[in-house]
Structure 1
Amino acid sequence: MPRKRPGRVRTKNTNHREALKLSTMAPEDYNVRPGEVKSIACPDCRTWRRIMGDTVLKIREHCISDKVVDGEKHAPCPGSNQLVVIDIDVRRWQARQNRLLRDSMPHENRRAARQFYKPLPAPAPPVARVHAGVPLETARRAYLAHLEECVSCGTGQHCARGGVLAHRYVLVSKEEPARREARKQTEPAARKVQWNQRGGETVETANNQCRPRLDDAVSEYRGPHVPTKPLRVNA
């Protein structure tokens, strides 16, 4: 396999111009990626040419026309041997170019740099561990059904699930009196008793009465009397 020779500057001649700084050029007019051949678009002829050298960088000598082999006259480009200075942050430039290349790709060829997966929902707790809001009869039936099917619980000792069902049945049993009392408070008969205790018909009669109010009497909810006629002040 032939060895690739590095680009060496074979002449000390320059075009006697001020050194060309990459910071003054468009980012897409040069290539200084690490590991690749440095190249630049010549400012004079706008053709891509190689940047020669390691420490002293120059644009390779070239012609204005690429058809010298066809008989045209060899006319050197004024941009030949132009000194080049890399005064940019190569890493930031490379990151920006990679982003532009990725954005310019067709949508069907794009791939996310990182795959994001939708998190799976947490599994629901087993029915044996749910006791909030479970009626007493439901807890009792679940416990008895487990005792009939479980072989381990038939020996006189509960298994893991049987112990949880038994614990839930005990909790629901202790909470049942408070639930019954709460249901009684919401029944129509209980509401009627509460209404009678608070005055019942007396409160309803007072709400339905419409008494005439005197002209100078003002309701305590409206505040002081406010004049309704316009106030005429003589100048």
Structure 2
Amino acid sequence: MTITPAMPQAKKRPTRTRTKRVSSLPTIRLSQLPPSHIDLRSPLDAVLVCVDCGTWCPITGMMGRTQKIVPHHKGEAGTATPLRCRGSNRKVIFDITIVEWHQALVDAIAEASSRQATAVLPKPFSPQTDRILRARAERTLAGRLADWDAVLPGVAAADSNRRKMPAGDAPTEAPTVPLTTLHPAR
């Protein structure tokens, strides 16, 4: 289809949000957010992380009286049933300047970079533990088989002692075990 001068053309829409609705949730103060959740590098295109869903959302009305978060969906884009975030159209109060935000961001970066993991040093062994570990490392398969062969007679003797039945039908200091079934009289 070709475009002719008689065909209507769509005019450029304004970049502001057309709704005058404002969320009933409390306003967001930029001073209460972490500086890493705000982007004021270009003040007219300011962006922040939505407090409710955690997505980056632009702020509209920068030239107007009321600044608020752009209406947005939470979750994945393009899903079959998108859900509108409850933080949409929430008012934003600029109570910090760009210079204060930048300084807070620099301080936060410096603090985060100073939190580096320390090298974990292993606990030193005691001399006895060190000797045992060295002896284990020096043992060979033949040495372990010889040790097992030396232990086998003691194991066999312990097993045979376990299998023996005690002499007599009762312990020496206890009454004998009754052999007749007791039936109580009614």
TM-score (norm 1): 0.37
Tell me: higher relative CO, structure 1 or 2? Use CA pairs within 8 A at least 6 residues apart: 2
* Rg (Cα) greater in structure: 1
Please give the TM-score of this superposition, normalised by the length of structure 2: 0.46
Q: Which has the higher helix share?
A: 1
